[in-house]
Every structure is written in structure tokens, then in C-alpha cells.
Amino acid sequence: MKTTVSFTSTISPRLIAWVDKRAKSEKKTRRTILEEALEHYQRDAVKKSMRAGFERAASDAEMIELAEWGMSDYKQIVGA
């Protein structure tokens, strides 16, 4: 099973210069810098999506009722 995939793309000279400078200063490869950037972007996108979902749930009466119902069970379990 492959653990990496090759692809070809174009990127602005300004950005690739930043990537190269960063890679040199951190003693990393260009690929590592780009992978780390994509991983950060992915994590931030997931957080943003989850935040939006929680904000929708916070204004949904049914979700609030379910959460309150669950808190009663939680209190019973932990003996609060």
C-alpha cells in the first residue's frame, strides 16, 4: 500500500520563496513544510466545521433538550 502520492502543481514564486526560506531556517525539506501547512489547514477546517455545528446546535431547541436530558444521566452516573 502506498503511503505517499506524487502530484504536480503550480504555486506563486512569492509563496515558494517563503516555503524555501522556512525549510532552510528549520532544516526541513520543502515537502515537510508543505505537508505541515496542509495538516494545519485541515485541522483548522475541521475545527471551523465543528464550531459551526455546535453554534447551530446551541440554537436548536431539540438539541438543547437532548443535552439537558443527557446531563441528568451524567449526574446519576457520577453521583453528583
The whole-angstrom separation of Cα 45 and Cα 23 is: 24
Give CA–CA dist 14/37, Å, rounded. 16
28 phi and psi angles, rounded to 5 deg: -125, 170
Q: Could you tell me which residues come within 8 angstroms of residue 18 by beta carbon, excluding any fewer than 6 positions away? A: none
Listed by start position, the domains of the chain span 14-78
For residues 63 and 57, the answer to whether their CB atoms sit within 8 Å is yes
For 6-41, what is each residue's pLDDT tens digit? 989 999 999 999 999 999 999 999 999 999 999 999
> Which residues have a Cβ under 8 Å from the Cβ of 11 and sit 6 or more positions away?
19
Predicted TM-score of the model (pTM): 0.65
Mean pLDDT of the chain: 88
For residue 40, give the C-alpha cell.
Answer: 494545519
